[in-house]
């Protein structure tokens, strides 16, 4: 870590390092980089493209040949990133972008050799153990793999000077899980996938009350809760639900919808990101997350950032993480997690109250323009880096 102090009067130079995802559908790294640059920070990238999406990385785990190619790709990434690091001039901070699990140790070693005064920042964002074991349940927590994974991730966090997560609740989880100091783990919001110059004034008119969910069909989202709520609303012909996306549980949820005989619902594949803002705006109401796994209480889901950027009313589970930003009936409509009856009742209530929908939509839009904006996100990150220099 740096042994000298800088102030905001001295511009920072930051090296963004790793195999971090840069696709528009994964906004975390793009938003951090752009947010830093909006605050006058010189950001130099040392990037190697390798299985950029989560779906690609998961398919590698399930395919032996794909796993071999991934290992070879990792070796290539180490060679390429070492070369790029060596060619970079002195920087004040090194940020290992998400996913940085395989490269935080490399970054620490290279810092020791070349940039000893630089601050090392690790964007944990989606903790690996939480995602694979707690959230998706791919391995049992008492399995050998899970125990090794826990030790590995703890070492990743301990190797950094500063760890980034997306909410205070998520920070508490990481601190408790890996015995980290409170000063070492900080909250930096994610931001939206929707372009900051999106024009929210255009909105379609339609007779049916249209409700939208966009997501990756993981347990966190609680799609089964949404389907049960839809069943409660089956007798209302003026309501239609669109579920957009793909992922782990989509086939199961489509089968469940057929079993329940739901006719007021459609399943769709992903919407191109450059059309996402106007697409969300064409609906009367959006849905957040409703799952009852522990992670539900710790995150502000990506869809909520997009909803705020688009400026539409939404319903989501009332959780400590959501309460860090949102207030019931002011900029969100909050209900208990895992409660389809409450979701159905909230939909009925908002359908009948246009003024409340407009109030929530405007409140959400102000959050999107304010603390969720790229400039504010970048400013928060710059402040946290300066604190530890």
Question: In the prediction, which pLDDT does 20 show?
Answer: 94
Question: In the prediction, which pLDDT does 203 show?
Answer: 56
* pTM for the structure as a whole: 0.91
Alpha-carbon distance of 171 to 128, in angstroms, equals: 14
Question: In the prediction, which pLDDT does 135 show?
Answer: 76
pLDDT tens digits, one per residue of 35-72: 999 999 999 999 999 865 555 655 665 677 777 888 88
Name the class of domain 13-191+374-387. alpha beta
Question: In the prediction, which pLDDT does 1 show?
Answer: 46
Domain with CATH 3.40.50.2000 in the chain: 13-191+374-387, 209-369
| Length of the chain in terms of residues written | 389
Question: In the prediction, which pLDDT does 353 show?
Answer: 97
- Please spell the DSSP secondary structure of 157-201, one letter per residue: HHT-SEEEESSHHHHHHHHHHHT--GGGEEE-----SS-TT--TT
Alpha-carbon distance of 345 to 108, in angstroms, equals: 52
Alpha-carbon distance of 157 to 105, in angstroms, equals: 10
Residues of the chain with pLDDT under 50: 1-4, 202
Question: In the prediction, which pLDDT does 55 show?
Answer: 58
> How is domain 209-369 classified at the CATH fold level?
Rossmann fold (3.40.50)
pLDDT tens digits, one per residue of 200-233: 664 555 679 999 999 988 888 999 999 999 999 9
């Amino acid at each position: 870590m740096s042994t000298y102090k800088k102030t905001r009067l001295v511009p920072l130079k930051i090296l963004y390092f790793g195999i971090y995802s840069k696709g528009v559908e994964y906004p975390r790294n793009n938003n951090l980089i752009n947010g830093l640059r909006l605050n006058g920070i010189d950001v130099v990238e040392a990037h190697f493209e390798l299985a950029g999406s989560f779906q690609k990385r998961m398919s590698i785990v399930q395919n032996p040949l794909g796993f071999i190619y991934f290992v070879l790709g990792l070796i290539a990434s180490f060679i390429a990133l070492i070369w790029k690091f060596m060619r970079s001039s002195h920087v004040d901070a090194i940020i290992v972008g998400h996913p940085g699990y395989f490269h935080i140790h490399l970054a620490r070693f290279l810092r020791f050799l070349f940039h000893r005064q630089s601050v090392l920042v690790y964007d944990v964002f989606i903790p690996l153990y939480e995602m694979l074991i707690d959230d998706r349940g791919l391995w049992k927590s008492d399995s050998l793999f899970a125990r090794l994974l826990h030790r590995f991730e703890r070492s990743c966090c301990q190797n950094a000077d500063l760890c980034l997560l997306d909410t205070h609740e998520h920070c508490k989880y990481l601190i408790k899980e890996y015995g980290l100091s409170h000063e070492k783990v900080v909250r930096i919001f994610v931001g939206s996938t929707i372009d900051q110059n999106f024009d929210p004034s255009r909105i379609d008119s339609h007779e049916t009350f249209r409700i939208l969910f966009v997501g990756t069909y993981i347990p966190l989202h609680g799609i089964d809760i949404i389907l049960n709520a839809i069943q409660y609303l089956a007798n209302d012909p003026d309501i239609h639900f669109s579920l957009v996306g793909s992922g782990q549980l989509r086939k199961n949820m489509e089968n469940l919808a057929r079993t329940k005989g739901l006719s007021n619902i459609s399943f769709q594949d992903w919407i191109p990101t450059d059309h996402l803002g106007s697409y969300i705006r064409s609906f009367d109401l959006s849905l957040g997350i409703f799952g009852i796994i522990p992670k539900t209480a710790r995150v502000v889901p990506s869809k909520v950032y997009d909803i705020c950027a688009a400026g539409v009313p939404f319903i989501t589970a009332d959780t400590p993480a959501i309460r860090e930003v949102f207030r019931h009936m002011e900029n969100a409509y909050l209900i208990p997690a895992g409660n389809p009856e409450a979701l159905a009742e909230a939909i009925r209530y908002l359908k009948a109250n246009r003024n409340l929908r407009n109030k929530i939509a405007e409140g959400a839009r102000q959050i999107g323009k304010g603390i969720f904006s790229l400039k504010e996100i970048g400013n928060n990150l710059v402040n946290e880096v300066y604190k530890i220099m």
